[in-house]
Structure 1
C-alpha cells in the first residue's frame, strides 16, 4: 500500500487500470503517460487499492459484467463505439461513471480523470471569532459535527493574521467584543483585496435593525441572532460556504482550462513566500511556455490550439500533487508553485512533465502533430518578492528558449550572474 503523499515528496504517479484488447491497451497507455498517469494492464486480477479509475473497452466487456464488478470498488470509465441511449442506460445500470466514444478525445478523458482525482472535496474551513471562549468552542463543535473544520480565535486582534494562515471559506464572528467590535474587525479584513469576497456571518444578540443594516453594508453576508440553534447554524454556514466556494471557483479560475488565473496565482505565491519567511520552508516557482504555439494556431486553427492548452492543463494536474498550485498565467504560458520542493527537484519534476507531454499526438484538420514545452524555475532563495521570483523564473524561461527550447532551466544564482 502506498503511504500518504506529503509536501516534500516528489509527485507519485496516479494509477489507471486498463481492461481492453492488447493493441488498444498499448495505445491508451501511451496517451495516458502523456497526461502524467501510470497504467496497469488488468485482465484477470482486481485493481490495487491506489487505482484512480478502471478504463474498460466495451468490445471486451459487451455485457458489462466486468464493469459491474469493478464499479463496486473503483470509478469505471467505459470506452467504445456504442453511445446511444440504450447503451448509456446499460452503462449507468452497471455503475459506470463515464462513457467515452471512439476515437478517444484526450481532453475529455483528461477532464474526467482530473475530476476523479479531485473528487474528495476538502471540508469547509470556518473561522469562528468570539471573545467568549466557551461560546466559540460550542459553535466550533457544532460545525465540526456537521463535517466542517473550525478554527477558534478569541482575540479579535489576531483574526486577520489567522485568516492568512488558515484561508477559511467563511468567517463566523461575534458582533460585540471588547478590543474591537465585529464591524471594525470585518472592516479591517476588507482592507485586503483578497478578503473582499470572503463571506462574513455575524452572530449577536443585537436587536437594533440599523446596526444590522450597518453590518451588511460593510460586507456582512448574514446576521444570526442569539440564542442560536446549533443545528440550524451548521446548516446555514454549510450553505453559505458552499455558495462562496462555487463563486470563488468562477472568480479565481481560467475559463478555458479550469486552472487558477494569473491574479489568484500571485496571491498564492505571496502566501507561500510569507510562510517560507516564518517557517523556513522551501518552494519553487516554475513558468512553462508552449514552444511555437503561434504556429499551432496558424497551421491547425485556434480550436486545435485550445485543445493543446487544455491537454497541458490536464497533464500538469495528472502529474503534480494536490498540494501544488497550477495556473494558466496568460496565453500559452502556465505557472506552477511546487510546495516543499527545491529548485533541483523542481527541475526533475518539470522535466517529467516536459517529456510526457511531448509524447502526445494531437489531431489537426489535415495532419497530426506534437508540441513541446520550455520551463524556467526559480526558488524562494532567489527573490524577496513575488515579482522578483516570477522575474527570475521568466529569466530562466528565456534562457531555455534561447538555448533551443524543449528544456527545463533553473534561474542562475546571483553570484553566477555577476561573475
Structure 2
C-alpha cells in the first residue's frame, strides 16, 4: 500500500494536470506541482482559498477576475463554491492559459479540484462557453447582494432533502432570516440606505457560513440558510453568532448610532419534507420570533422534539 501511495504521489507531481484538495474550511491541504505553479503557491504553503485569490488578484496574476471590487466578487463566488457535489467550468489565467476545472465535494466539505489546460481550443468556442458560464452564474446570483438567489438556494434545500443511500437520519436544518423593521429603515433613510443595509447584512452573515451550508436572499429583506446534516442545537449556535455579529454592525458612517437586528426561524428537516413544507415550518418559527420581541431565534416545535429525541 505504501508503494502504491508513493507511486500515486509521484504521478500527481509529474502530471501537467492541476490537482488540489481543500478542507471544509477552504484551506489548501494538497496541491501538485502544476497547481502550485499556476497559482504561485510555495511548496509548503497551505493558504485559505480566499487569501490565495486575494493575493494573486492584488499581484495581477493567477485567475483572471473581471471585477472592480474584489471583495464583492469573493462573496458572490463563495456563495456558490462547494455548495454542490460536482461542478465544472472554464476559467482563464493572467498568463493567457485557459483551464477546464472540476470541483468534487464530499459531504464533510472537503473538495477535490482537478484542472486541465484547454488553451489549444479555438478562441471563438472558448468565448461562447465563457459567456454561457457567466449567464449561468447570473441566473443563480442575487443582483443586489451578490450572494445566492432564491433559485439557487431552493435547489440546495431540495438537495438536502434527497434520500441518502447511507440512511443518515439527520437531514439538517433550514433557517429563515428577516431584518427587523426594515420598512422603517427605508421610510426613514430611503431605499439606497436600505440597499446598503441589505448588502451589509449579507456580507456579515456570509462570513460565518460554513462550506457545507448555503446562504441566499429570497426577496426583500428575507434570507434563507441551509444547514445540511446539522442538529438544531448546533444550528442555534451558528445563527446566534450571526445575531451577535449583526448587533455590532454600524454600517452608516454618517449615522454612527444607527444599528439594526434580525430575527430567525429554525426548522429541522424531517423524512417526507418537501422544500415547501420545510420552509413553511421555518417561516412559522420566524413569525414566532417576531412576536417574541425580534432580534432572536425561534425553533419550530417539531424541530425541538426531533433534536431532543436524537440526543
For normalisation by structure 2, the TM-score amounts to 0.62
Correspondence list, 1:179-328, <5 A: 241-276=129-164, 279-280=167-168, 282-328=171-217
User: Separation in 2 of the partners of 1:259 and 1:118?
Assistant: 5
Q: Is the 8 A contact 1:358 1:372 kept in 2?
A: yes
Q: CA deviation at 1:51?
A: 8.9
Are the structure 2 counterparts of residues 260 and 277 from structure 1 closer, same or farther at C-alpha, using a change threshold of 3 Å?
A: farther
Q: Quote the Cα distance in structure 1 between the aligned partners of 2:232 and 2:162.
A: 18
| Residues in 1 aligned to 2:77 and 2:297: alpha-carbon distance in whole angstroms | 29
Q: Secondary structure of 2:187's partner?
A: helix
Aligned residue among 235, 257, 274 for 1:385: 274
> Which stretch shifts more, 355-364 or 306-315?
355-364
| Aligned pair partner of 2:299 in 410, 413, 416 | 410
Provide the rounded CA distance (Å) in 2 between the counterparts of 1:249 and 1:146.
Answer: 17
Q: 1:365 to 1:344 in 2, by over 3 A?
A: same
CA 1:272–1:117: 2 relative to 1, 3 Å: closer
Partner of 1:395: 284
Query: Could you tell me how far 1:413 is from its partner in structure 2?
Result: 1.1
How many Å separate the matches in 1 of 2:74 and 2:208?
11
Preserved contact between residue 304 and residue 364 of structure 1 (Cα < 8 Å)? no
Tell me, in whole angstroms, the C-alpha distance in 1 between the residues paired with 2:238 and 2:120. 47
2:231 maps to 1:342: yes
Residue 406 of structure 1: CA displacement?
0.6
SS in 2 for 1:338: strand
Q: 1: CA distance between counterparts of 2:287 and 2:164?
A: 26
Aligned equivalents of 1:402, 1:75: Cα separation in 2: 46
Match of 2:6 in 1: none
Deviation at 1:385, TM superposition (A): 1.1
Aligned equivalents of 1:234, 1:369: Cα separation in 2: 54
Aligned in 2, Cα 1:326/1:236: closer, same or farther, shift over 3 Å? farther
For 1:326 and 1:117, how far apart are their aligned partners in 2?
10
Could you say if the C-alpha distance between residues 109 and 331 of structure 1 is closer, same or farther in structure 2, counting changes exceeding 3 Å? Answer: same
Change (3 A) 1:238 1:343: farther
In structure 1, distance between residues paired with 2:81 and 2:176: 28
The one of 252, 256, 259 aligned to 1:370: 259
Output the CA distance in 2 between the equivalents of 1:315 and 1:257: 11
Cα distance 1:389–1:361, how it changes in 2: closer, same or farther (>3 A)?
same
Structure of higher CA gyration radius = 1
Q: CA deviation at 1:295?
A: 1.3
Q: How many Å apart are 1:96 and its aligned residue? A: 8.4
Quote the Cα distance in structure 1 between the aligned partners of 2:149 and 2:81.
22
The answer to whether the Cα contact below 8 Å between 1:382 and 1:389 also exists between their aligned partners in 2 is no
1:139-150 alignment runs, 5 A limit: 147-149=100-102
* Structure 2 unaligned spans of 5+: 1-20, 28-44, 62-68, 90-97, 105-117, 306-311
What TM-score results when the alignment is normalised by the length of structure 1?
Answer: 0.47
Could you tell me which runs of 5 or more consecutive residues in structure 1 were left unpaired when the two chains were aligned. 14-46, 54-70, 78-91, 98-107, 127-144, 152-229
CA displacement at 1:274 relative to structure 2: 1.4
The CA deviation string for residues 334-391 of structure 1, in whole angstroms up to 9 with x for no partner, is: 0111122222211111111111111011227555301101111112227621111000
Deviation at 1:283, TM superposition (A): 1.9
The alignment's C-alpha RMSD in Å is: 4.3
